[in-house]
Amino acid sequence: MNSILNLKRFYAISLALVLGMMIGSCDTDELDDPSLENVDNELILNVSDENLELEERFIGNELGFTWSSGTNRGTGAAIKYTLEIDLAGSDFSDPLISLVEGEKNRYFASIDHGTLNHRLLNSRLDAGTVYDLEARLTAEVTDPAVEDQVSTKAFSVATYKPVSSRLFIVGDATPNGWDISNATELSGAGQRGVFVYEGKLTEGNFKFPVSRNDCWCQDFYTKDPDNDGVIVYNEGGSGEDVQWTISEEGNYRLRVDLINKTIDIAPVEDAPFSELFIVGEATESGLNIDAPAAFTQSELDPFVFNYEGNFAPGEFKIFAGPMGDWCGEWYRPQVDDKALENGDVIQAAGCEPDHTWLVTEETAGRYRISLNTATNTIRFNRINLHIVGNAGPNDWNINNPAPMEYVNGDFVYTGPLKAGELKFSKYQGDWCDGEWINAEENGQAITNTEFITTFGCEGPDNKWKLSADDAGDYEIRINLDTETMTVTAL
């Protein structure tokens, strides 16, 4: 919270300085910024934190830059600003980050800590290292008779190693024993860095590797010697190999938080159903209860069932069997014509009351539904695809990527693409939080529509690449049901 207040204070003070330096007198109709007539304005760049230590807990915090206007030497010409970040001592021929590129009337910029860390590591810098960086602001006057003005600001950034986007459990207490190449994977809990295992554990020990790599020298999470509820990060298998112990065989639920370094272990009972199905005119099943589309039961949490698909206007409910019986077991909302909102559900057998969820023209689209039969709660996550990359409209901004439009099962983008790279995300927020649509091969042409799906930061981080000759207007269509993509040059 203090860092956020400090950043706001930084912007307020810097803005006051900028406005003070921009006070001038001239004809306001002839300039984008009339204060630029003041020939004494010096271009000055400021940064909100000159010694920044990035932490994954605070990825939403921002590093801010503000600057004074500079001058056009009384010519009345506009000024364009470019802000770049590179290693200290570099010549900026290939900067690590470009924050502003040739924009007028712009006197501040910011980058959140998560994106800053990702961009630095993506530029082949090392995690857990302090780097001396330099920000360079260039003010280009549109009148060629006025020379460019440049201001630089030195600062340092300590990078961090992001927590793994996957986690596994291994040990003689687990389903696959000490066979690390076949270790059981935990499921994501819908929160960055949090993983859940729910299933059988026998008497014995366990710990958590970050992959199925059969080298025991990989990263592990083990138990704090003094606290069963605290995990310890052992990079490269270093440190004490203290494991958790299960003394009584049964079904357990483990919740592991890699960022806050905590673990919760609790016994659980059997799930009430082993299968769930979706039924209704809004869904791919229609009104067929003889062979409806099935949910997927989580391997690690048998109480949780997930379904992803396209929803048209209409109604639906969730069926638990037996097949063909309209008065069988159902999960329904508490009221009829319920909107697609997270909340409680009612589980009951019978035909009445026949409450259903209602999909309207406005809410039609693709959704991922998660139903927890232990808590009788349901979550709806609307799925969209976004373009991420410097070839697209919003550059590498994962917090605000360019959305595609959902049209009858297709995700569609129509508009310009620049020279550069791009890929597609199914979410927005942090780089390691969700699923990606990647090119089948890194650097393949945008006209090559073969793609793969990856999760988090595991990669391969393949991207489509457009040359300067490829830049232009395109229509891109992606259908997640048929797993097809079409690209048309306009």
Specify the pLDDT at position 388: 95
Q: Which fold has domain 2-158?
A: Immunoglobulin-like (2.60.40)
Please state whether beta strands 386-388 and 402-403 pair in parallel, antiparallel, or not at all (unpaired): antiparallel
Token digits of residue 378: 């349901």
Q: Is the CATH code 2.60.40.3620 the one for domain 277-383?
A: yes
Q: State the CATH class of domain 168-267.
A: mainly beta
**What average pLDDT values come out for the chain (490 residues) when binned by 10 residues?**
50 47 36 51 95 92 95 92 96 94 93 93 93 97 94 97 93 95 86 86 96 90 95 86 94 92 90 94 96 90 91 97 95 96 93 95 95 93 94 91 93 96 90 89 95 86 94 96 94
Quick check: 230 and 179 in contact, CB under 8 A? no
Specify the pLDDT at position 41: 86
Q: First CA to last CA across the chain, in angstroms?
A: 48
Please state whether beta strands 149-158 and 51-53 pair in parallel, antiparallel, or not at all (unpaired): parallel
3 state SS of 305 = strand
Specify the pLDDT at position 10: 56
Q: How far apart are CA 61 and CA 53, in angstroms?
A: 11
Backbone angles phi, psi at 263, to 5 degrees: -145, 135
Q: Tell me if domain 168-267 and domain 277-383 are identical in fold.
A: yes
pTM exceeding the 0.75 threshold for the entire prediction: no
3 state SS of 150 = strand
Annotated domain spans of the chain:
2-158, 168-267, 277-383, 386-489
Strand partners, 158: 53, 130
Specify the pLDDT at position 332: 97
